[in-house]
Amino acid sequence: MSTATLRPPASSAMPRIFQHPMLRFWGTSVGLKLIMAATGAGLSAFVLIHMLGNLQIFQGAEALDAYGKLLHMEPAILWGARLSLLSMVGLHIWAFLVLTGKIYKAQPKVVGRPTKKRESTFASRSMRISGPLLLAFIVYHILHLTTGSVHPDYHEGSVYANLVSGLRVLPVAAIYVASMALLGLHLWHGVWSMFQTLGADQGRFGSPGRYFATAFTAVVVAGFAVVPIAVATGYIKPPPASKIQENGKSHEAEAPASAKAPA
Ligand code: HEM
């Protein structure tokens, strides 16, 4: 008899890392759902804080740029936050993939058209599409506003000017607004699922988990989407050229002394 036939069937369905007794729980469906819920909660907190930070655009260039400067002041904190965000995104996707594999393997082969699950919504059915599209948006968004690689007029450290010149391009503003609609679909179902995983919601429409998910999603999506809309419609104006920062110094400050002081 080969050694393969002696292995218990349960462990063969589990990724190798989870065969360690300390990690076995995290490889079960409950463990994986908890990983998705915990990382989803962390990412939801990030989007809420990020949305509130962005709203400072309505207080003017100085307020938003000062906020940007504050975030970049301590490289260790900035990189710690970036790494934890990245690990949350990685774990969230990975747990989803392992869980999907398990569900797929456990499902009996269905012949004919699959039936709709009870209480499934458009948001729940589109999670597999909204997730990857959101990931694509985040990659584009970082290349656009953090590294400036796909921004036509990027000035490092000038968050307000970069946002305004970036989002005044109508197709770009449209991409941002459409992506916030996707974020809404993903968040609405994701936040409610989190309540279910934690056993706090029985999945009824009109239950506390649904109300919370709906209110949270509406606030986050509206708070994000108002920025590209305000810029694209001209409500938010570009800053004067003298106020545009470059590496934390304004162009005004870089002007030669002779240009500043009258002779
Ligand atoms: C209308 C919507 C959004 C606007 C206007 C916006 C604005 C910005 C701005 C201005 C920055 C650069 C900040 C800086 O350099 O100091 C930034 C960075 C970032 N944004 Fe957004 N954002 C939006 C939506 C989102 C969403 C939905 C996510 C994630 C789900 C997200 C994730 C990030 C990340 C990961 C960074 C990079 C942070 C870093 O490493 O420095 N943003 N965003």
Q: What is the largest CA-CA distance in the chain?
A: 97
pLDDT of residue 33: 93
Cα angle 171, 224, 220 (rounded to 5 degrees) comes to 140
48: number of CA atoms within 13 Å, CB side? 14
pLDDT of residue 203: 64
Q: Is residue 163 part of a domain?
A: yes
E-state strands within 146-254: 245-246, 249-250
- What are the φ and ψ backbone dihedral angles of 242, each rounded to 5 degrees? -65, -20
Q: Is residue 259 part of a domain?
A: no
Q: Which of 20-24, 100-104, 112-116, 186-190 has the lowest mean pLDDT?
A: 112-116
CA of 141 to the centre of ligand 1 (A): 7
Residue 163 and residue 167: Cα distance in Å, rounded?
Answer: 6
The pTM of the full predicted model, rounded to 2 decimals, is: 0.84
Q: Which of 145, 150, 172, 180 to mutate to test the pocket of ligand 1 (most atoms within 8 A of CB)?
A: 145
Provide the domain count of the chain.
1
Is residue 123 a contact partner of residue 183, using CB atoms and an 8 Å limit?
A: no
Q: Which residues pair with 249 in a beta bridge?
A: 246
pLDDT of residue 25: 86
CA of 131 to the centre of ligand 1 (A): 17
Q: Is residue 197 part of a domain?
A: yes
CATH number of the domain bearing residue 222: 1.20.1300
Q: Is residue 229 part of a domain?
A: yes
Percent of the chain with pLDDT over 90: 61
Owner of token pair 């989007």 = 47
Q: Is residue 12 part of a domain?
A: no
Closest Cα to atom 6, ligand 1: which residue? 54
Model pLDDT for residues 16-62, shown as the tens digit of each residue: 777 777 788 888 889 999 999 999 999 999 999 999 999 999 999 99
CA of 27 to the centre of ligand 1 (A): 32
Percent of the chain with pLDDT over 70: 80
- What are the φ and ψ backbone dihedral angles of 141, each rounded to 5 degrees? -60, -40
Q: Containing domain of residue 206, as a range?
A: 19-102+122-239
Q: Is residue 168 within a helix (H) or strand (E), and if so which, with residue range?
A: none
pLDDT of residue 161 exceeding 90: yes
> Which numbered atom of ligand 1 lies nearest the CA of 85?
35
Residue 131 and residue 146: Cα distance in Å, rounded?
Answer: 21
> Which numbered atom of ligand 1 lies nearest the CA of 68?
16
User: Where residue 180 falls among pLDDT bands split at 50, 70, 90?
Assistant: very high
Q: Is residue 74 part of a domain?
A: yes
Q: Which of 46, 50, 233 to mutate to test the pocket of ligand 1 (most atoms within 8 A of CB)?
A: 50
Q: Is residue 254 part of a domain?
A: no
Q: Which residue has the higher pLDDT, 41 or 239?
A: 41
Q: Is residue 4 part of a domain?
A: no
Is residue 212 a contact partner of residue 196, using CB atoms and an 8 Å limit?
A: no
pLDDT of residue 151: 96
CA distances (Å), origin 117, targets 37, 124, 129, 132: 21, 10, 18, 22
Looking at every residue in the chain, the average pLDDT score rounds to 84
The pocket around ligand 1, CB under 6 angstroms, is made up of 47, 50, 54, 68, 71, 82, 85, 138, 141-142, 145-146, 159, 163, 176, 180, 183, 224, 227-228
pLDDT of residue 5: 42
